[in-house]
Amino acid sequence: RYGPQLRRSIGVVVPTLMNPFFPKLLSGVAETLQPAGYYTEVFNAELDAMDLDHLLTRFVPAVQKGLILCAPKVTTRIVAEMAQTTALPYVLTDQADDIPGAARISVDDTAGAGQVVDHLVGLGHKRFAIVCPPQLPFNMATRYRGYLDALARHGIPSKAVTYVSAPLTRAAGEAAAAQVVRLPSITAIIAIDDDLAIGLLKGLARLGKRVPQDYSVAGYDNTDLAAYVTPELTTVNQPVMALGHAVAACILAQIAGQTPALPAPLPVQLQIRNSTARAK
Ligand code: RIB
């Protein structure tokens, strides 16, 4: 009774389920797949990245109709394996490694980073910390370049920008606050995602620093928490549901034997809230 249904699944390989971005992306995917009679199977690369054997021999073959790849490090291996064994439709998005020629749907990380910098420079900030991991996945490398290019466009020299290393968690953001406050003259902190930014808000408060009076803090994602922290977080709204719809539609088009029309990078919009203010 359930057999045919099990063969109508689409696998989604995510880097983590701890960041609210990915459950929301999965919701968007499901909104498009379910009415078409497909359901999603999730492979959480954070837990199983070491178990590539499981991923390649059990998960990929079990997923009958297609793959949505969002995780770094495993993407290239999966695509190479599929090239040997099966012609499963797939699409790359978000943190997936870059594979030239493969279908990819992105959001406009360059524009989003530029909007953050334009906003902070417009508020008079001249010295910046950028908080992000040392090894950036594909989309965040684009975002990081976007910050630096926009700062250069405003004539901000690279010596005015300090990179602070932290993995993509709220706890790491909280810990990074101690490094930031030791940096002389920094007034603006750019976190490469909201989890880091939210952690920074807590870490700065614990160190007796006020946001936005002592530091402006900007995030990236506009996750649902961003409007619920104090102060409310200025951040870039990623169209996460729309991204989920777009990657799911891309897979459905491939299943229908069509060449999917890939959209231009989806537009993003800076959401200005209370964590940023005029530099002192
Ligand atoms: O950690 C959340 C981040 O991961 C988001 O910025 C999103 O783009 C994804 O890559």
Question: Taking all residues of the chain, what is their mean pLDDT, rounded to a whole number?
Answer: 93
User: Tokens for 189?
Assistant: 């902190």
Tell how far CA 43 is from the center of its chain.
17
ipTM of the complex: 0.95
Residue 50: the pLDDT is: 56
Assess whether the C-beta atom of 194 lies below 6 angstroms from ligand 1.
no
Assess whether the C-beta atom of 221 lies below 6 angstroms from ligand 1.
yes
7 has a pLDDT exceeding 70: no
Sequence ranges of the chain with CATH classification 3.40.50.2300: 3-107+239-267, 109-237
Assess whether the C-beta atom of 21 lies below 6 angstroms from ligand 1.
yes
Domain 3-107+239-267 fold is Rossmann fold (3.40.50)
Assess whether the C-beta atom of 95 lies below 6 angstroms from ligand 1.
yes
- Lowest average pLDDT, out of 80-89, 103-112, 156-165, 184-193, goes to 80-89
Ligand 1 atom showing the smallest separation from residue 107 Cα: 8
147 CA → ligand 1 middle, Å: 16
Q: Write the secondary structure of the chain as one string of H (helix), E (strand) and C (coil).
A: CCHHHHCCEEEEEECCCCCCHHHHHHHHHHHHHHHHCCEEEEEEHHHHCCCHHHHHHHHHHHCCCEEEECCCCCHHHHHHHHHHHCCCCEEEECCCCCCCCCCEECECHHHHHHHHHHHHHHCCCCCEEEEECCCCCHHHHHHHHHHHHHHHHCCCCHHHEEEEECCCCHHHHHHHHHHHHHCCCCCEEEECCHHHHHHHHHHHHHCCCCCCCCCEEECCECCHHHHCCCCCCEEEECCHHHHHHHHHHHHHHHHCCCCCCCCCCECCEEECCCCCCCCC
Please state the pTM of the whole predicted model: 0.94
Q: Is 258 exposed, middle or buried (0-12, 13-18, 19+ CB in 10 A)?
A: exposed
Domain 109-237 fold is Rossmann fold (3.40.50)
% of residues, the chain, pLDDT over 90: 81
107 CA → ligand 1 middle, Å: 11
Neighbours of 199 (CB within 10 A): 23
Assess whether the C-beta atom of 139 lies below 6 angstroms from ligand 1.
yes
Assess whether the C-beta atom of 94 lies below 6 angstroms from ligand 1.
yes
21 CA → ligand 1 middle, Å: 6
Q: Which pLDDT band, with edges at 50, 70 and 90, does 64 fall under?
A: confident
Q: Is 125 exposed, middle or buried (0-12, 13-18, 19+ CB in 10 A)?
A: buried
- Lowest average pLDDT, out of 65-79, 159-173, 196-210, 261-275, goes to 65-79
What are the tens digits of pLDDT across the range 246-262? 999 999 999 999 999 99
76 has a pLDDT exceeding 80: yes
Residue 268: the pLDDT is: 98
Dihedral angle over CA of 43, 262, 139, 130, nearest 10: -140
Assess whether the C-beta atom of 168 lies below 6 angstroms from ligand 1.
yes
